[in-house]
Structure 1
Amino acid sequence: MKYLVLPLTAALCLLGFGAGAQQEQERLDLPGDNLNLYAVLKLFQASPTLEDFEKSLNDESNNINNLDLNGDNETDYIEVVDNVEGNVHNITLKVAVSKDEDQDVAVIVVEKDKDGQATIQVIGDEDLYGKDYIIEPNYDSDGNAVGGTPNPGYSGSQSTASARADNSNVTVQYTTTYEVATWPVVLFMFRPAYVVWRSPWYWGYHPPYWRPWRPIYWHQYYTYHYYWDYYYFGHYRRWPHYRVPGWRASYYGGNSFRRSAPLVQVRVQRGDYRNTYSRPDLAKQGSAMFKRDHPKAPSVHNRPPNFDKGGRPVRPVVTRPAVTRPTRPGGSTNPGTTRPVTRPTNPGTRPVTRPTNPSTRPVTKPVNPGTQPVTRPTNPSTRPVTRPTIRPSQPSTRPATRPSVQPATRPATRPSQPGTRPAVRPASGQ
């Protein structure tokens, strides 16, 4: 792997997609806010099998699953089902919200080609995350994932999530499609003896070791995962494109394995899920949870996130222009860097001094001719008089006067009286 250490705010400024970039949102105002897909992908990468992945996903101590889609004040059990289509594994996370209704939460799409390269994306279902909410590993530019050009992190929008853990450092770790193919769970799924995993559990029938718990409020859940951002954004990113061609049309086309529960759609439209955002004061409990469970984490001493009056995370605005603009093009070596400063401020310093103070020049040269300062603004005959006067008396002032005085007179007199020179020269010569 390749490593790059950056301040998190600087790294998150790189999380844009370029053209058509999306900005990482701290809060979606959708049920998916209570299942962090960055955490899901991290857990998936560490799991040896899909069965272990399902068990860990529904483990209260991992603080990943906080979904309550049917509103019974108990966390939902997330079932894991692998739908295989050729060399593509569509690992669906779904919830039984009633006896007759299932709701897809997200799909982990794993594709492996004949060359041994594998791509992985976690795609949130639109009912819970909105359109095109996709998380994937930070692919290295030397190991491009099929179907797009890698980007060193998201952000974007995410932005981003551009304010998360702003007082820490993030280590951006790049991976390749070959390395993704060596993840334990990927090796497990592509073994010849692999038996397709379909969760045996369903509504009212769950494993004996599992007991539902009361879900926590979103600000507590968000703050807990806020302290994981150094890892989430160091390894994963938002991405706007689907790696498998035609996947979206197939999944939402009506003939796929997707399940959408009308109950969830009705509750979203009614705003039933908004209650989870009603306790921003509990954010400190999320901070305490993380520090209790991970006392040696590098982010344990970070400041907790700030929220505005509406309970939304507050992003620091000052870092983005300060980090990106000065460092990109080496502005100090560009000879044109001073021009943008002078041109907008005084695009015409010459014409400005002429009309405002035509007599300012005579102030610096009243030593020799007393009558000439009066005639200079009107007669161009001052040029031959001033030049011989200044040069012998003060050669050191020559560079000082020429850029400010001498070039200024030429454009001023020529357009005003182009025919005055022949009339004035014989007069001054006498």
Structure 2
Amino acid sequence: MKKTIIWIVLFFATGIQLQAQSQTPKSLGLPGDNFNLYAALKVFQESKTLEAFERSINDPDKKINNLDLNGDDQIDYIRVEDKVKGNVHSITLKVGLDKDEDQDIAVFVVAKESDKKVYVQVVGDEDLYGKNYIIEPNYEDNERPNPGFQSEFADEYVPASRNNITYVEVASWPIVQYIYVPAYSPWVSSWGWNRYPQWWSPRRPYSWHWYAGFHYNYFNIYFGYYHRTNVYRNPGWYNWHYGNNGWRSRSPIYVSRYQKGHFRTTYSRPQTFDLGYRVSRDRVPVNMRPAVYPSRPYGTATRPMPSTRPMPANRPGQGNIRPANNGSRSREMNNNGNGRGKGNGRGNGHGNDNRPSRHYN
């Protein structure tokens, strides 16, 4: 009898541990970890125009953008550009790393098949997310059983419940209706390298663990309405974007910095998961918060740099890459997420090596 009780206790303890593990997401180990595409898709769904969407992903309060690709210790401004081919919109998020250098972050591919059928996919750029990293709504034709459905991706969070989104609902999103009005002119942001809107100012990035903790409270929302796939709903789009003379912008400045491993220190900072977790905890309704706090939040993985074509040689701005600063230090974080430390969080981006760098260096 005693042995039976012990086995029952062990069984339930193992079940609880497995449940906790299922709630523990993993990082990609790539710079795209600092721009959450689930969060970006959520604000895309909520935005009325592409201009409003651009503002939302750069909004310091939402903390979606945590990218510093050129290592100047400032979060990069992400601008939005739309290219249209037939009924397909290729809405690209990109960062200017120099006056002549752009790096794509991700693309929102929106395709209209009828007035009542529109699909949206977010494709992370291969240099930041790896190959075929695609996020899309939980369309009803991809329905998986509830509860306890499993993704084909082992590192995907398992939400408390899964909510389907129909093609008709997607067609009714305000931003989808906005880009399909007959008088629509494809949006091209007027902002870019050293040209920023008045409401935006450079600020220091958080450590990745802080950023991950901040977004963890939203995971039942992110993963409850969206999921990851590796299937392109419009296979022709890939060639339009990545093919020869395609639409993609790829910066040698960024790729060189990545290959030298500058981004890796973002995973080894004293700004902890718990600090970010506490900042966003009260922003999420109690019934939507994850029930389990990860006991070992976020392991990291290492992946080789994806490559789709040879690096162009002798491009302008390639000589502006700064060497790694091995003496970099992190700012101290308080409980409300505000930073304290040396520097005012505003750099000029022109190689002031006397100021300690805090991200990707």
Same fold (TM over 0.5): yes
Larger Rg: 1
Match of 2:293 in 1: 304
Query: Deviations for 1:317-342, whole angstroms, at most 9, x for unmatched residues?
Result: xxxxxxxxxxxxxxxxxxxxxxxxxx
Asked if 1:159 corresponds to 2:154, the answer is yes
Task: Give the whole-Å Cα distance in 1 for the aligned partners of 2:152 and 2:264.
Answer: 24
**How far apart, CA to CA, are the structure 2 residues paired with 1:269 and 1:206?**
29
Give the 3 Å change call, closer, same or farther, for CA 263–150 of structure 1 in structure 2. Answer: farther
Structure 1 residues 283-302: aligned runs within 5 Å: 283-292=273-282, 294=283, 296-300=285-289, 302=291
Give the aligned partner of residue 170 of structure 2: 180
RMSD of aligned alpha carbons? 2.6
Q: Is the 8 A contact 2:77 2:95 kept in 1?
A: yes
CA–CA separation in structure 2 for the residues paired with 1:88 and 1:273: 34
Query: Matches of 1:120 and 1:295 in 2, distance apart?
Result: 25
Q: 1:280 to 1:251 in 2, by over 3 A?
A: same
Q: Aligned residue for 2:128? A: 128
Deviations 1:43-79 (A, max 9, x none): 1000011000001111100010000000001000000
Matches within 5 A, 1:210-289: 210-279=200-269, 282-289=272-279
The aligned runs of 1:258-407 (5 Å cut-off) are 258-279=248-269, 282-292=272-282, 294=283, 296-300=285-289, 302-307=291-296, 312=299
| Aligned mates of 1:121, 1:250 — CA distance in 2 | 15
Partner of 2:328: none
Question: 2: distance between equivalents of 1:301 and 1:48?
Answer: 29
Q: Which amino acid aligns with 2:225?
A: H
For 2:31 and 2:300, the matched residues in 1 are separated by 17
Aligned equivalent of 1:108: 108
User: What residue number does 1:87 align with?
Assistant: 87
Aligned mates of 2:128, 2:104 — CA distance in 1:
9
The CA deviation at 1:212 is 1.4
- Aligned residue for 1:67, secondary structure, equals coil
| TM-score, length-scaled by structure 2 | 0.72
1:190 paired with 2:183, answer no
Deviations 1:152-201 (CA, angstroms, capped at 9, x unpaired): 69853433324x6xxxx622110111111111100111011212110001
Cross-structure match for 1:73: 73
Structure 1 residues 104, 155: closer, same or farther in 2, change over 3 A?
A: farther
Is contact 1:155-1:237 (8 Å) kept?
Answer: no
C-alpha deviation, 1:250, in angstroms: 2.4
Q: Could you list the per-position Cα deviations for residues 197-225 of structure 1 after superposition, in whole angstroms to 9, with x for gaps in the alignment? A: 10001111110111111100001111111
Amino acid paired to 1:287: Y
TM-fit CA distance, 1:307 = 2.9
Partner of 1:399: none
Q: What's the offset of the Cα at 1:252?
A: 1.0
Looking at structure 2, the residues matched to 303 and 113 of structure 1 have their Cα atoms a distance apart, in angstroms, of 40
SS of 1:258's equivalent in the other structure is coil
Q: Structure 1 residue 114: deviation in Å?
A: 3.1
The verdict on how the C-alpha distance between 1:155 and 1:90 changes in structure 2, with shifts beyond 3 A counting, is farther
Shift of 1:251: 1.4
1:60 is matched with 60
Structure 2 unaligned spans of 5+: 1-15, 302-361
**Unpaired segments ≥5 residues, structure 1:** 1-6, 14-23, 142-148, 315-430
Distance (whole Å) between structure 2 residues aligned to residue 156 and residue 266 of structure 1: 34
CA distance in 1 between counterparts of 2:290 and 2:187 reads 41
> Structure 1: how far apart are the matches of 2:69 and 2:248?
17
Q: CA deviation at 1:85?
A: 0.7
SS in 2 for 1:135: strand
Hey, what does 1:45 align to over in structure 2?
45
- Asked if 2 retains the 8 angstrom alpha-carbon contact of 1:134 and 1:239, the reply is yes
User: 1: CA distance between counterparts of 2:144 and 2:232?
Assistant: 14
Q: Give distance in 2, aligned partners of 1:258 and 1:231.
A: 30
The answer as to whether partners of 1:25 and 1:159 remain within 8 angstroms in 2 is no
Q: Which deviations, in whole Å up to 9, do the C-alpha atoms of 1:79-99 show, x marking residues without a partner?
A: 000111110000000000111
1:303 & 1:108 partners in 2: Cα distance? 31
Distance apart, 1:313 and its partner CA: 6.8
On the 8 A contact 1:25/1:157 being kept in 2, the answer is no
Q: Which residue of 2 aligns with 1:16?
A: none
Residues in 2 aligned to 1:272 and 1:301: alpha-carbon distance in whole angstroms: 32
1:181 counterpart SS class: helix
| Equivalent in the alignment of 2:160 | 170
